């Protein structure tokens, strides 16, 4: 588990661990189905997101929970939501950490 998530409540940790890989695969599948990436690999999806320009929303996906976010930050946003923190307009910075 990511060291930044060590303070999650136990139930949130269990849920997060149980769904982490599934979330990444679902997001890669969404981008593949939309014709944005040539294969369904998680690495291809993350590389695509890093190349997208900010403001284009090209790597934004609608999650299974009904909210949209950049695919590479869904795990962290889900962890925050499980702790009662709701976010809006979350962006990964697309390869530029200064913009995240």
Give per-residue pLDDT as tens, 48-76. Answer: 988 888 778 788 888 777 888 887 788 78
Q: In the structure, what pLDDT confidence band is assigned to residue 100 with cuts at 50, 70 and 90?
A: low
The helix/strand/coil state of 15 is helix
How large is the average pLDDT for residues 25-36?
88
Q: What pLDDT, on a 0 to 100 scale, did the predictor assign at position 1?
A: 44
Would you give the DSSP letter of residue 5?
A: G
Q: In the structure, what pLDDT confidence band is assigned to residue 78 with cuts at 50, 70 and 90?
A: confident
Residue-wise DSSP of 19-82: HHHHHHHHHHHHHHHTTSSSS--HHHHHHHHHHSPTTS-TTEEE-TTS-EEEGGGHHHHHHHHH
pTM for the whole thing? 0.66
Return the structure tokens found at 7: 């303070």
């Amino acid at each position: 588990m990511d060291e930044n998530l060590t303070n999650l409540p136990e139930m949130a940790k269990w849920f997060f661990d149980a769904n982490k890989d599934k979330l990444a695969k679902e997001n890669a599948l969404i981008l593949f189905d939309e014709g944005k990436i040539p294969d369904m690999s998680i690495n291809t999806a993350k590389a695509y997101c890093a190349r997208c320009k900010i403001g284009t929303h090209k790597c934004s996906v609608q999650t299974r929970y009904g909210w949209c976010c950049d695919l590479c930050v869904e795990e962290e946003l889900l962890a925050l939501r499980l702790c009662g923190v709701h976010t809006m307009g979350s962006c990964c910075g697309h390869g530029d950490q200064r913009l995240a």
